[in-house]
Amino acid sequence: MYFSVIMIALVVASAFFITIFGTPNLIKVAKLKRLVDDPEDPRKIHHRSVPTIGGVLIYFVILTNGFFWLALGDAPNHEAFKQYSVLLACMTVVFAMGLTDDLVGISASKKLIVHLFAGALLVTVGGFRIEGFGGLFGIEAMSETISTMFSLFVYIVVVNAWNLIDGIDGLAGGYSAIAMAAFSVWFIVTGQVPAAILSLTLMGATLGFLVFNFAPARIFLGDCGSLVLGLVGYALATNVIQTPGEAVPEAFSQLSRPTLAMAILAYPLVDTLRVFFLRTIRGISPFHPDQNHMHHRLMMKYGSHRKTAVFIYLYSVVFIALAFSRPILFPKLGEEGLFFGLLVLSFLWFLPILRQTRDAHHKNVQRQDTLMEESETTSRSNKRQSPGKSAFSGS
């Protein structure tokens, strides 16, 4: 399939309008069936009930829009057909798990088992594996065992990192649209048709979703949406890293593919790795929820969902642009130099915000701890009074 400007616009526009016309009905159904997120947890930023199953429409658009445009082009080769069939199967498994968690809840251990199953299938059978770093750090290729283990670890991190940023209005939807736009540029210029159609479809879908997700949000992605986007984001990132050298145009030949993939995923990875590290050194589980994510700290400074989301949009666009611009702005800078430069900058970018909100964060932690203790005390008291019957009922 030849990617003309008209073809690109049609793929994006069709996904956008399916989402635009479908989301209001999804919101209506979610409210009628009480499929909403109630702000009972004191850690939550929101103070109103909002539907949390936006991912249902994202999944629907991938199936309808993506397969429609793929069907209009040449049939993919056997390897590509196998790879994306496995991706669809894994995406369906993760979507079903996420939707179940949104509706009735699932324990963390069960979710991890499903992720390990889907990730292992994606990495081994699907071939979405990081086999090397294209010379970055001198690593051209890894052994199959190390490659598989490392890829599975990266999959778990990326999917959960994407899930964790769905915390304020417009953040996950807007970031996803930016990431998918960056993926689309790469796959179009390198002629990777299935990956380009998938990323263009998700770009249109997330832009349409953002109309209803930007502050004040009328719907959230929920786990069924953020986990699917994280899974696809991981798969597309591995395709970027493993792009054959002969498919890369001369203008992009100096571009570091691993650095580009990490620049696209910069915000969710930096945010998640930061909070996991801080929780670990405090001696608590890295999965213990708190309000120390970057969007929480930005909310403390700006007090606005819109300003916080736009700040992170800008962050993502800058890092993606810097990675893409290496051949123009930094032609003499080595791959390791660009990688470490972006890595340091990715943390320094937020340093002023972290310093300005340090005292507010400490006070907030104390307040949340007090509220959680009161909530747990009340819960234990209720259980003692009512082990199955009202405290006022007879024996």
Q: How confident is the model at residue 11 (pLDDT cuts 50, 70, 90)?
A: very high
Q: Output the average pLDDT for the chain.
A: 86
pLDDT of residue 332: 77
Residue 211 pLDDT exceeds 70: yes
In whole angstroms, what is the distance from residue 64 CA to residue 371 CA? 45
Q: Which two tokens stand for residue 308?
A: 């916080």
Would you call 260 helix, strand, or coil by DSSP?
A: helix
Q: How confident is the model at residue 79 (pLDDT cuts 50, 70, 90)?
A: confident
Instruction: Report, as an integer, the average pLDDT of 54-69.
Output: 94
pLDDT tens per residue, range 288-336: 777 888 898 999 998 899 999 999 999 999 999 999 988 888 777 777 8
Rg (CA), the chain: 22
pLDDT tens per residue, range 347-394: 889 889 988 988 887 787 677 667 656 655 655 555 455 444 333 333
* Alpha helix (H) residue ranges in the chain: 5-32, 55-61, 67-72, 78-103, 108-124, 144-164, 171-189, 193-213, 223-241, 257-264, 266-281, 294-302, 305-324, 326-329, 335-348, 351-356, 358-385
pLDDT tens per residue, range 24-39: 999 999 988 888 876 6
In whole angstroms, what is the distance from residue 43 CA to residue 371 CA? 9
The rounded percent of the chain whose pLDDT value lies above 90 is 51
In order of 286, 308, 310, 311, the CA distances from 173 in angstroms are 25, 13, 12, 14
The DSSP annotation for 48-84 comes to: S-EE--THHHHHHHIIIIIHHHHHHSPPPPHHHHHHH
The structure tokens 């405290």 sit at 391
The rounded percent of the chain whose pLDDT value lies above 70 is 88
Instruction: Report, as an integer, the average pLDDT of 178-190.
Output: 96
- pTM value > 0.95: no
